[in-house]
Amino acid sequence: MWPLKNSALLILALPLLVSSVRIQIDVPATHILANPATLPSDTKAVLSSNGSPLIAPISRHNNFVFADVPPGSHLLSVYSRDVTFENLRIDVEPSGEVASWQTYRGNEWTNTGEQRGGCEAADTQANIQVRAVAKREYYYDRPSFSATSILKSPMILIAIFSLAMVVGIPYIMDNMDPEMKAEFEAMQKSGTGATATTSNIQNMDLAGDFASWMAGKKTDTASGGDSKSDTQQRIKR
């Protein structure tokens, strides 16, 4: 009687035993992560699905082990301080078959990338690889001295042009034709006078000019008043 009951219980529990799968996530060496052993000890992998997430810390063998993964479609995310890892879609069938693909956040769940491993229904463990895609940068190096960046500055370009004019004009004047040089000097003298006149006009004392203008206006008003009084006196006479 008891053997029959034990056999019945074993048959009922057999689908539950088969449905749970052991998954091992390996971290291969790449050009971004040459030595997976350098990953910090707080690195962890998370399997997210409709239920509670499954969390596996990194082991001393540089992998993550999920001992009991139920059937369903899961999202694998690896969190590390120094490296960013790709996300994987892992499908676990009730038969025990496991398949995994590369996936991207924000894309449709059916949009999968390269396959990353799995196992057949008869296997006891699924081996899947997750790869590092980028290094995390928390500090940026101070930019070094660059002569080209200085030459691109407008102020530096203006200074260089002014220096070239100061140095080059005397040389051009010395090598100029005598007649052309005389004409240029005559033009320069006439231009100097005009420049001086313009400078004097621009440098006028605005306060004094305004005071003179006001005084002239008052004088005109006073003269206008005197002429009006003279006219009135003439009318009275």
Read off the pLDDT of residues 169-221 as tens digits, 9 standing for 90 and up: 777 777 777 777 777 778 777 765 545 544 554 444 444 555 565 566 544 44
Quick one: 27 and 90 in the same domain? yes
Tokens standing for residue 190: 């006439």
**Alpha carbon of 8 to those of 1, 20, 229: distances in Å?**
11, 20, 138
Task: Indicate the residue among 113, 135, 157 that finishes a domain.
Answer: 135
Q: Percentage of residues in the chain with pLDDT exceeding 90?
A: 35
Quick one: 49 and 131 in the same domain? yes
Encode burial over 13-23: b for 16+ CB neighbours within 10 A, e otherwise. Answer: eeeeeebebbb
φ, ψ (nearest 5 deg) of residue 182 = -65, -45
What CATH number did the domain enclosing 24 receive?
2.60.40.10
The mean pLDDT value for 77-95 works out to 94
User: Is residue 198 one of the residues assigned to a domain?
Assistant: yes
Quick one: 171 and 131 in the same domain? no
**The predicted structure's pLDDT at residue 214:** 57
- Is 128:22 a contact under the CB 8 Å cutoff? no
For residue 24, the enclosing domain spans: 19-135
Reported confidence tier of residue 4, pLDDT bands at 50, 70, 90: very low
User: Is residue 50 one of the residues assigned to a domain?
Assistant: yes
Quick one: 114 and 176 in the same domain? no
CA-CA-CA-CA torsion for 130, 135, 138, 142, nearest 10 degrees?
Answer: 180
Quick one: 25 and 130 in the same domain? yes
Residue-wise pLDDT for 94-112, tens only, equals 888 999 999 988 888 888 8
Structural domain count of the chain: 2
Quick one: 27 and 123 in the same domain? yes
User: Is residue 213 one of the residues assigned to a domain?
Assistant: no
Quick one: 110 and 35 in the same domain? yes
Give the integer Cα–Cα distance in Å for 21 and 126. Answer: 8
